[in-house]
Amino acid sequence: MHAIAEVDPKVTCYIAAIDEPSTLRAYKANVHWRIRQDRENSFRQAAREINASNVDIVVVQHEFGLYGIWSDELSSDGSTHSVYHDYLWSFLLEIKKPVITTLHTVLPEPSPSIRETVRSICQFSDEVVVMSNTAVSLLEDVYGIEKRIRVIPHGTPVIDPSGRHTFKAKMGLKDRTLISTFGLVDPRKGLEFMIAAMPDIIRDHPDALYLIAGQTHPDLLRVQGEAYRNQLIDLIRHLGIEEHVGFIDNYMTLREIIELLLASDVYVTPYLDPNQITSGTLSYALSAGKAIVSTRYLHAIEALADGRGILVDFRNAEELSVAVNSILNDPEYKSRLEHATYLYGRETTWPKSGRAFLDLAYEHVHSPSARQKIAAQSTRRGVEA
């Protein structure tokens, strides 16, 4: 929203916020509608209210954890399986405004309910946006989507990749070699494998510090408290590397995130989900021009192709240590990686993503909406039935 406003200050953006069950938040004035995540009718009601407003176009940011619920259902053989019930469908059927939907997750091996959900979203959205070319291929080959799919990369701040020594000094780490990971902490991040890699890194670089920045994921915190973080702390103590692994366990502002990245010598994403199609933290590290080591999840495979970074196997501490040491042992190689990631990352900055979204919105606002044709076809089918 900020990026769009910077491109064209005359544009006004309003928010339809999705609230989890039993959650009440005090929002700013630009939140005009609230949708209860667990109530399908709430999605329909929001659509009716948006239809009655002066909004020109709706931009949906879709993630499965927001727009529906999972339930366990019995199969014919007596076993249970998880089924996804999509509530965005109700919104899309009710809305009369043009809709651009960004799919944040595109699974390579979807269940039948997920595949049908994505196909329906694509059918009833006037435009579908993804953040990588890999996602386009999946939608075409796995989901059978035939309509045009737009790629608008995950936006990142405009970052000047300089000031490493200044920001290290500001953090009190002037004499340390800094390896970092930031983002919400949860077991899917694979942080224990990077921690396990540290003893081998320390042998080559005794001043090395691995800094894990970010709070525990709120969903995990509600269910398990700090169990995962405590497991990481126990591992650090067991390995005797308390002076070489640290945590920033608080909410970080954008400025603090950028300063952490700029201070870092190597950025690592040791994530465990091979199907992760988008990583905001990886995008930010690219924009900051970092030397990056990552496991082979989908976004990393695409973003770090052509020698822009080092990819390692999942759950492999040895490969992580070898990769990080190969960067720290060779300053020229490190510099080449930093230059390559910065050139790639500067094409994904928020001003460019904001411009792309705004151009796409204008395209639909100023032309007949495909939604009207789809609605008319649906009405005719209903009458025939």
Domain range enclosing 216? 164-348
Domain count across the chain: 2
The DSSP result for 61-94, as a single string, is EE-TTTSEEEEEEE-TTS-EEEEEEESHHHHHHH
**CATH code: domain of residue 31:** 3.40.50
Dihedral sign from CA coordinates of 192, 196, 199, 201: negative
Average pLDDT of adjacent 10-residue blocks, the chain of 385 residues: 93 93 86 93 96 95 85 72 84 95 94 91 95 95 95 92 95 96 95 98 98 91 91 98 96 94 98 92 96 97 96 98 98 98 94 94 78 50 35
Whether residues 207 and 277 share a domain: the answer is yes
**CATH code: domain of residue 282:** 3.40.50.2000
Q: Residue 91 corresponds to which tokens in the numbers above?
A: 């919104």
Whether residues 119 and 21 share a domain: the answer is yes
Whether residues 98 and 204 share a domain: the answer is no
Which residues does 166 contact at the CB level (< 8 Å), separation at least 6?
A: none
Helix axes 331-345, 317-328, angle to 10 degrees: 100
Whether residues 226 and 245 share a domain: the answer is yes
Whether residues 148 and 171 share a domain: the answer is no
In whole angstroms, give the CA distance from residue 120 to residue 113. Answer: 11
Does the pTM of the predicted model rise above 0.75? yes
Whether residues 178 and 308 share a domain: the answer is yes
Whether residues 68 and 203 share a domain: the answer is no
**pLDDT value of residue 218:** 83
In whole angstroms, give the CA distance from residue 117 to residue 82. Answer: 14
The DSSP result for 159-215, as a single string, is -----HHHHHHHTT-TT-EEEEEES-B-GGG-HHHHHHHHHHHHHH-TTEEEEEESP
Is 118 within 8 Å of 136 (Cβ atoms)? no
Whether residues 341 and 215 share a domain: the answer is yes
Whether residues 174 and 314 share a domain: the answer is yes
Amino acid sitting at position 246 = G
Whether residues 200 and 282 share a domain: the answer is yes
Whether residues 169 and 235 share a domain: the answer is yes
Whether residues 41 and 103 share a domain: the answer is yes
In whole angstroms, give the CA distance from residue 58 to residue 126. Answer: 10
**pLDDT value of residue 31:** 96
The structure tokens 């973080």 sit at: 229
**pLDDT value of residue 371:** 54
